[in-house]
């Protein structure tokens, strides 16, 4: 099989040389495209890992008329995310989400994106999110008190509910109520539609062609619009606050016009999607890793036990919790919820030695990058201690560790998510130890985020 692939590659290179086609990175022959599509739909991560293992850190391949560059060289990725940022837009698969999310920060481009990011940034700076800490800790304590000893539950779903609670009370400035769960459910239905389309032949069928799943998607979208707009109206009637939604409601652009109703809806829905699922997954995977590593869990408990009894987790935390922070960083290394990032070139660019034509799609997976032995020693082992070395992070190549993306479009909520996750992990771990009902290795569904394939069932044991 290997000899046959080498022969096909050699024939393709000779044909391109005769036609004077610019050299491209190594990759599988285009003649195997149908096989690529099948493998990609079956297991996206394994497909990309195989390409990287076989062809290296910059791989060229085609799917139909689409030209892809798979990049896991930190220096080349820096060129994509930073140096060529002005001629890169979101990849077409991400842009498909606009049907649901509209033009929120996640998908917006150009001057409009810069204006909206400038509006949101002050409410997500380190100094501002400190004011959210008490509400984060309060929500975490509420969850801690509702858990019942020795009664199994789905940790992932519980963390989804908790982080949704935190988003509503901190970023939306509203009292958490059951209607917020309706948003979560509607988003889930819509995201399942997106994933099913993207990984099937339905992706190539015009949107106008009806199907049962598409009908469910449009129904979920209507529900989301109604609920989000109701929440915006509710917040508009309340006194001014320090939450992000209020900032967007009162904000004006340089020309003096307020964000219109649709722009507010788009930003609010993006806050919901980006603000709770990724953090819920990170917390879930952290506790899964702790359950599999009792020595690490014991070190965490010792750190938490050393806190003064009268010091609640909140405003001054997580400063005194270096090991908890290390657990969170190591979780993001091995199990980055934002497992893939993509850009599309809007003009020809030079990427290292390679000529990248306009409309090419450039893709990288932090999940794969974070497992490179050239960057991380013993990369498949969960080892929080690596982050306690003050020189460790300094020695990681730029864009070699990117759980929140990179370049100007790095996740605006990275500080918010980090504080939230560390406070939740510390609060729950002070009271509970979670044992896994199924100790088999985690299996992932590379959705928009890196989701588990099934519920993460745990049994809580009091500490």
Q: How far apart are CA 166 and CA 279, in angstroms?
A: 11
Which residues make Cβ contacts (< 8 Å) with residue 104, sequence separation at least 6?
116, 266, 267, 269, 270, 271
Q: How far apart, in Å, are the Cα atoms of 441 and each of 234, 270, 291, 292, 427?
A: 44, 32, 12, 10, 26
Question: 97 or 425, which is more confident?
Answer: 425
Assess if residue 38 is contained within a domain: yes
Overall domain count for the chain: 1
Question: What integer is the mean pLDDT of 72-95?
Answer: 95
Positive or negative, the CA dihedral 110, 116, 118, 123 is: negative
pLDDT band at 255 (very low <50, low <70, confident <90, very high): low
pLDDT over 70, % of the chain: 89
Question: 269 or 461, which is more confident?
Answer: 461
Give the residue among 269, 254, 318 at the shortest CA–CA distance from 107. 269
Assess if residue 40 is contained within a domain: yes
Question: What integer is the mean pLDDT of 124-144?
Answer: 87
Assess if residue 15 is contained within a domain: no
Give the residue among 434, 386, 402 at the shortest CA–CA distance from 337. 402
* Paired strand residues for 58: 71
The pLDDT score that the predictor gives to residue 264 is 87
Question: What integer is the mean pLDDT of 291-298?
Answer: 98
Dihedral over alpha carbons 93, 98, 104, 106 (to 10 degrees): -10
Question: What integer is the mean pLDDT of 66-92?
Answer: 96
**Per-residue pLDDT at 177 exceeds 80:** no
Assess if residue 72 is contained within a domain: yes
pLDDT over 90, % of the chain: 54
Question: What integer is the mean pLDDT of 202-222?
Answer: 76
Task: Give the domain CATH number at 171.
Answer: 1.10.630.10
**Per-residue pLDDT at 260 exceeds 60:** yes
The pLDDT score that the predictor gives to residue 203 is 67
Strand order in the sheet with 153-154: 153-154, 457-462, 432-436
Assess if residue 2 is contained within a domain: no
Per-residue burial over 154-172, b = 16 or more CB atoms within 10 Å of its CB, e = otherwise: bbbebbbbbbbbbbbbbbb
Considering the chain, what is the average pLDDT of its residues? 87
**Per-residue pLDDT at 2 exceeds 60:** no
Question: 79 or 98, which is more confident?
Answer: 79
The pLDDT score that the predictor gives to residue 148 is 97
Question: 134 or 149, which is more confident?
Answer: 149
**Per-residue pLDDT at 160 exceeds 60:** yes
Q: Is 419 exposed, middle or buried (0-12, 13-18, 19+ CB in 10 A)?
A: buried
Range with the poorest average pLDDT among 27-31, 195-199, 222-226, 374-378 = 195-199
Give the residue among 345, 454, 338 at the shortest CA–CA distance from 91. 345
Helical packing angle, 294-305 and 414-431, nearest 10°: 90
Three-state SS for 179?
helix
* Block residue for tokens 């994933």: 195
The boundaries of the domain holding residue 83 are 22-462
Question: What is the β-pairing status of strands 66-71 and 361-364?
Answer: parallel
Q: Return the structure tokens found at 110.
A: 């150009």
Assess if residue 414 is contained within a domain: yes
What region does 173 belong to: left with phi over 0, alpha with psi -120 to 50, or beta? left
Q: Which of 171-185, 295-309, 322-336, 445-459 has the highest mean pLDDT?
A: 322-336
The pLDDT score that the predictor gives to residue 12 is 54
**Per-residue pLDDT at 4 exceeds 60:** no
Backbone angles phi, psi at 133, to 5 degrees: -60, -45
Question: What integer is the mean pLDDT of 219-224?
Answer: 85
Question: 121 or 70, which is more confident?
Answer: 70
Q: How far apart are CA 229 and CA 330, in angstroms?
A: 38
Assess if residue 302 is contained within a domain: yes
Q: How far apart are CA 242 and CA 128, in angstroms?
A: 8
The pLDDT score that the predictor gives to residue 151 is 97
pLDDT single digits (tens) 352-374: 999 999 999 999 999 999 999 99
* Block residue for tokens 């932090």: 366
The pLDDT score that the predictor gives to residue 328 is 98
Question: What integer is the mean pLDDT of 262-273?
Answer: 86
Question: What integer is the mean pLDDT of 98-121?
Answer: 87
Q: How far apart are CA 400 and CA 370, in angstroms?
A: 7
Helical packing angle, 155-170 and 133-146, nearest 10°: 150
* Block residue for tokens 């497909």: 47
Which residues make Cβ contacts (< 8 Å) with residue 192, sequence separation at least 6?
213
Residue 426 near residue 304 (C-beta atoms within 8 A): yes
Q: How far apart are CA 252 and CA 92, in angstroms?
A: 30
pLDDT band at 201 (very low <50, low <70, confident <90, very high): low
Assess if residue 347 is contained within a domain: yes
pLDDT single digits (tens) 380-404: 999 999 999 989 999 999 999 999 9
* Paired strand residues for 356: 349
Three-state SS for 351?
strand
Residue 112 near residue 103 (C-beta atoms within 8 A): yes
């Amino acid at each position: 099989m290997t000899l046959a692939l080498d022969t096909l590659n050699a024939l393709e290179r000779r044909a391109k040389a005769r036609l004077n086609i610019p050299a491209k990175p190594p990759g599988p022959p285009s003649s195997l495209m149908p096989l690529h599509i099948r493998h990609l739909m079956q297991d996206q991560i394994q497909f990309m890992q195989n390409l990287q293992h076989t062809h290296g850190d910059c791989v060229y391949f085609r799917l139909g008329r689409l030209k892809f560059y798979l990049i896991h060289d930190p220096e080349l990725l820096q060129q994509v995310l930073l140096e060529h940022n002005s001629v890169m837009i979101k990849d077409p698969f991400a842009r498909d989400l606009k049907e649901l999310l509209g033009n929120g920060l996640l998908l917006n481009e150009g001057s409009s994106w810069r204006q909206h990011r400038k509006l949101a940034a002050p409410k997500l700076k380190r100094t501002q999110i400190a004011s959210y800490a008490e509400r984060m800790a309060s929500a975490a304590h509420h969850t801690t008190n509702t858990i019942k000893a020795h009664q199994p539950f789905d940790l992932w779903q519980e963390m989804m509910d908790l982080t949704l609670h935190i988003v509503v009370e901190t970023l939306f400035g509203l009292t958490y109520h059951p209607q917020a769960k309706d948003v979560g459910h509607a988003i889930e239905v819509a995201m399942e539609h997106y994933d099913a389309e993207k990984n099937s032949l339905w992706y190539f069928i015009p949107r106008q062609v009806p199907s049962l799943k598409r009908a469910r998607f449009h129904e979920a979208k209507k529900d989301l619009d109604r609920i989000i707009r109701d929440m915006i109206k509710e917040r508009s009637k309340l006194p001014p606050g320090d939450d992000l939604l209020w900032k967007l409601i009162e904000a004006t652009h340089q020309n003096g016009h307020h964000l219109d109703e649709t722009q507010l809806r788009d930003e609010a829905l993006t806050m919901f999607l980006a603000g709770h699922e990724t953090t819920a997954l990170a917390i879930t995977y952290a506790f899964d890793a702790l359950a599999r590593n009792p020595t690490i869990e014991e070190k965490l408990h010792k750190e938490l036990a050393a806190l003064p009894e009268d010091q609640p987790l909140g405003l001054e935390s997580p400063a005194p919790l270096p090991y908890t922070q290390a657990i969170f960083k190591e979780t993001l290394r091995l199990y980055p919820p934002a497992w893939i990032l993509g850009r599309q070139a809007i003009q020809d660019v030079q990427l290292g030695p390679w000529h990248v034509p306009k409309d090419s799609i450039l893709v990288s997976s932090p999940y794969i990058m974070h497992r490179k032995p050239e960057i991380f020693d013993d990369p498949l082992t969960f080892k929080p201690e690596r982050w306690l070395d003050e020189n460790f992070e300094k020695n990681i190549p730029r864009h070699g560790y990117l759980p929140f993306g990179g370049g100007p479009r790095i996740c605006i909520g990275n500080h918010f998510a980090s504080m939230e996750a560390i406070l939740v992990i510390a609060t729950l771990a002070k009271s509970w130890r979670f044992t896994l009902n199924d100790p088999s290795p985690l299996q992932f569904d590379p959705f928009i985020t890196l989701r588990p394939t099934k519920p993460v069932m745990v049994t809580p044991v009091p500490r």
